[in-house]
A and B are shown apart, each in its own frame.
Chain A
């Protein structure tokens, strides 16, 4: 059965930027991100006949996320370097701990180097990074983030908190 390509295009193409943004932040490479989105869109078109949901964005982002993780896993095998999967292993690029005596405005202004903040986000472990990107850049609800990343809502909340704490207080050891 030929998938309904016109319907697929109508539902999927409006979410292409979201798909690419997620892949780009997960893979941290424009070429790999483009390839992952292409893979994902082919998979999505193949499975589109069985799509019955009402949220094509979460459905597509889930496929994109899985395609990106496939590439991360393949890259890790190729390099034989395990990906950091635990916040405890992670060192963000912001090495200067926040001074607790500062008020929040001052603490932020010291870290207001935007490149440093973007770099710190990019340096988060993948499973924390994807939650924060989906929340802050794509503005997904907890429920949709849970669906895209395949974990319970409670896990999404704790991952978001760990991600945010790592960016707010990079020097602190995660609890």
Chain B
């Protein structure tokens, strides 16, 4: 049976291994080690374990997909920023820039559409679609109370072939927003709703093969994302926009 390490020195031995000892403490420990078999054994064990762990335990690299997604999310929304970064323009265009920033605040740029599409794709993974799975708007709407600082309108269009499936909390443009989930045959629609002034008729676009429709009504901005045909998503948007 080999000697045990000195109980009051195990943390010192560990700190030496971890490079956390100062020169004086290190020297004192070395002097002790020359006469203490137990501590010497522990030092060797700790070193073997460190080498073994670094060889045995993989350092997992982030999947390329995650890196690409986060790089895209972190990319700056280009147009306004470019003006702001040009000092010659920034000085003379102060008022215009201020106006542009206000506009950006109420009318988030294409970056929000990219974010919404990414968010939609992520939500399609199992278990991510809804936080509150319910076709009852009287269940879905109160669920958002206390989770976000506004009350999103919730409507069901089951009669028109767009049944409400549920809702979840999501993030767009760095803030929490309500996401309502609808079905259409075998397709899903994510409808993001957040407060915004103004009125705008539904306008359609496409991102990475997904249809995106945006409109404003009743003090709210709406952004719908789906793999439906654009015409079907527009029909859904018009149902919504027509009745708010």
User: Which A residues have a C-beta under 8 Å from some C-beta of B?
Assistant: 2-6, 8-9, 12-13, 16-17, 19-21, 24-25, 30-31, 33-35, 37-38, 41-42, 45-46, 100-101, 104-105, 107-108, 111-112, 114-115, 117-118, 121, 132-133, 135-138, 141-142, 157-158, 160-161, 164, 167-168
Cross-chain contact A104 with B48 (CB below 8 angstroms)? yes
Cross-chain contact B174 with A3 (CB below 8 angstroms)? yes
Contact of B61 among A8, A9, A20, A132 (CB under 8 A): A20
Contacts of A112 in B (CB 8 A): 52
Contact of B44 among A42, A104, A157 (CB under 8 A): A104
Contact of A137 among B2, B20, B57, B76 (CB under 8 A): B57
CB pairs A–B below 8 angstroms (16 shown): A2-B173, A4-B76, A6-B76, A9-B74, A13-B67, A16-B66, A17-B60, A20-B66, A30-B63, A35-B128, A37-B70, A105-B48, A112-B52, A118-B58, A121-B53, A167-B53
Cross-chain contact B14 with A21 (CB below 8 angstroms)? no
Contact of B57 among A16, A31, A41, A118 (CB under 8 A): A118
Cross-chain contact A17 with B61 (CB below 8 angstroms)? yes
Q: Is B138 located at the chain interface by the 8 A CB criterion? A: no
Knowing A34-B66, A118-B56 are in contact, say whether A104-B45 is a contact too (CB < 8 A). Answer: yes
User: Which B residues have a C-beta under 8 Å from some C-beta of A?
Assistant: 1-2, 10-11, 14-15, 18, 20, 41, 44-46, 48-50, 52-63, 65-67, 69-71, 73-77, 81, 104, 122, 125, 128, 171, 173-175
Cross-chain contact A107 with B45 (CB below 8 angstroms)? yes
A46 CA to B73 CA, complexed, in Å = 12
Q: Among B50, B65, B66, which residue has the most Cβ atoms of chain A within 10 A?
A: B66
A42 CA to B230 CA, complexed, in Å = 29
Q: How many inter-chain contacts with C-beta < 8 Å in the A-B complex?
A: 137
Cross-chain contact B69 with A38 (CB below 8 angstroms)? yes
Knowing A20-B60, A38-B70, A41-B73 are in contact, say whether A164-B49 is a contact too (CB < 8 A). Answer: yes
Q: Among A45, A135, A137, A164, which residue has the most Cβ atoms of chain B within 10 A?
A: A164
Cross-chain contact B66 with A136 (CB below 8 angstroms)? no
From residue B103, how far is it (CB to closest CB) to chain A in Å?
12
Knowing A8-B74, A17-B61, A100-B2 are in contact, say whether A168-B174 is a contact too (CB < 8 A). Answer: no
Cross-chain contact B49 with A168 (CB below 8 angstroms)? yes
Contacts of A118 in B (CB 8 A): 56-58
In the complex, besides A114-B56, A121-B56, 16 extra interface pairs with C-beta distance below 8 angstroms are: A2-B77, A2-B173, A5-B77, A6-B74, A6-B81, A12-B70, A17-B61, A34-B65, A35-B128, A42-B73, A45-B74, A111-B52, A114-B52, A135-B18, A141-B20, A168-B45
